[in-house]
Amino acid sequence: MQETISRILEKENLTKEDLVVLLSANEADTELIFKKAAQVKKKYIGNYTYFRGLIELSNICSKNCFYCGIRRGNKNVHRYTVTDEEVLKACQYALDRDWGSIVIQAGERQDKIFVDRVEELLKKITDLSKDKIGVTLSLGEQTPEVLKRWHEAGATRYLVRIESSNEDLFYKIHPQDELHNFQKRKQALIDLQNAGYMTGTGVMIGLPFQTLEDLADDLLFMKEIDIDMCGMGPYIEHEDTPLYEYKNELIPLEERYKLTLKMIALLRILMKDVNIASATALQAVNPDGREEGIRVGANVIMPNITPIKYHSSYNLYKGKPEIVPETDNYIAQLEKQIAEAGDTVGYGELGDPVHFKNRIK
């Protein structure tokens, strides 16, 4: 088997069949995949890891995704919105530490109050950071007009996970209605690219009904759409969601974790110069999960800089509140581990995806 894996890893273009074989590799063979991914990372983007301070702006959401703990239908959630002052304080924290960027994430809202508020907030952040901080948004699907306004107000990157590129699977994990539409979600990625954003997507790994073929297709989907950034994480069931019903059909969490590391490594091999985040959900499974992600090809870590009082309410999945708060000590520890994984933290740099620079050339 080892020979087959080595032979596939030498190919210029990986097919779906190749990817399925790689995704099925046993532990010893997987080390070959990780090694190759680390080489590709070193060659195409260098051994740098960028910190993005994550601000979970609000858990108010108009959608009802079947997997997510903050879905509209979950009445057991205390809804909150972080104030502008608190966001600016968090930005200052990132600036003081020379981190090149922040990510603003929230439930999806398309109402005018929210859209206007985000626009004003972005202007304040731009004033504060004087372009020393790149702002990534993760605020769900928006109209091209809204995307343009937010871009002009200072946001340069945007993440919309496709969640699964298999349309049938997409509708097993979302309601089938106007608000949850596969084609629209896909179009959102094109709209982002057209609006000039560095565009990111991603999927959940280990979803009920998901096969290795689906995951191979997800990787090829990202290549075809030509994304600049990716965030992938294990699916972690949440008891207050409809998908919880299938908890006994899931592969063990440890397997979902290992599969996520494989997906990160394979995307690195496939797309070479994109930014890949080592998702927070990895850390929810294994305290060293995000550092492992760095070792196998990821180059972005998103420490949570949301004020701590809100943490337990942004509960997308089980186990998230148990995560250690990102205190100064913790960050120092993270830096040490990044160094151990062979990387340097890219302080004072925006850390734009090299892929984007090559894409718009």
Interface positions with ligand SAH (CB under 6 A): 61, 67-68, 105, 107-108, 138, 140, 160-161, 163, 204, 233, 235-236, 238, 281, 316-317
Q: Name the binder of 235 from ligand SF4, ligand SAH, none, CB < 5-8 A by kind.
A: ligand SAH
- For 328, half-sphere exposure in the C-beta direction (CA atoms, 13 angstrom radius) is 3
Give the 3-state secondary structure of residue 234: strand
For 226, the token pair is 């030509």
* Shortest distance (Å) from residue 278 CB to ligand SAH: 14
Q: Which range touches ligand SF4 (CB under 6 A), out of 60-68, 185-193, 217-225, 262-270? A: 60-68
Q: 61 or 125, CB closer to ligand SF4? A: 61
* Shortest distance (Å) from residue 249 CB to ligand SAH: 15
Q: 174 or 295, CB closer to ligand SF4? A: 174
Q: Which range touches ligand SF4 (CB under 6 A), out of 30-38, 65-73, 145-153, 254-262? A: 65-73
CA-wise closest residue to 105 among 260, 250, 231: 231
Give the 3-state secondary structure of residue 210: coil
* Shortest distance (Å) from residue 63 CB to ligand SF4: 4
C-alpha 92/C-alpha 65 separation (Å) is 33
Q: Which range touches ligand SF4 (CB under 6 A), out of 67-75, 151-159, 246-254, 268-276? A: 67-75
- φ, ψ dihedrals at 54, nearest 5°: -90, 125
* Shortest distance (Å) from residue 218 CB to ligand SF4: 17
Other CB atoms within 10 A of residue 99 CB = 28
Contact between residue 32 and residue 2 where contact means Cβ atoms under 8 Å apart: yes
* Shortest distance (Å) from residue 161 CB to ligand SF4: 8
Beta strand pairing call for 101-106 and 48-58: parallel
Q: Name the binder of 71 from ligand SF4, ligand SAH, none, CB < 5-8 A by kind.
A: ligand SF4
* Shortest distance (Å) from residue 114 CB to ligand SAH: 12
> Is 71 an interacting residue with respect to ligand SF4 (CB under 6 A)?
yes
Q: What residues from 98 to 117 belong to the interface with ligand SF4 (CB under 6 A)?
A: 107-108
CA-wise closest residue to 119 among 160, 86, 154, 87: 154
Interacting residue with ligand SF4 among 41, 52, 63, 262 (CB under 6 A)? 63
Give the 3-state secondary structure of residue 241: coil
Q: 160 or 294, CB closer to ligand SAH? A: 160
Sequence letter at residue 247: K
> Is 61 an interacting residue with respect to ligand SF4 (CB under 6 A)?
yes
Q: Name the binder of 230 from ligand SAH, ligand SF4, none, CB < 5-8 A by kind.
A: none
CA distances from 102 to 51, 92, 197, 210 (A): 8, 10, 15, 32
CA-wise closest residue to 231 among 198, 209, 190: 198
Contact between residue 10 and residue 202 where contact means Cβ atoms under 8 Å apart: no
**Which residues contact ligand SF4 (rule: CB under 6 A)?**
61, 63, 65, 68, 70-71, 107-108, 140
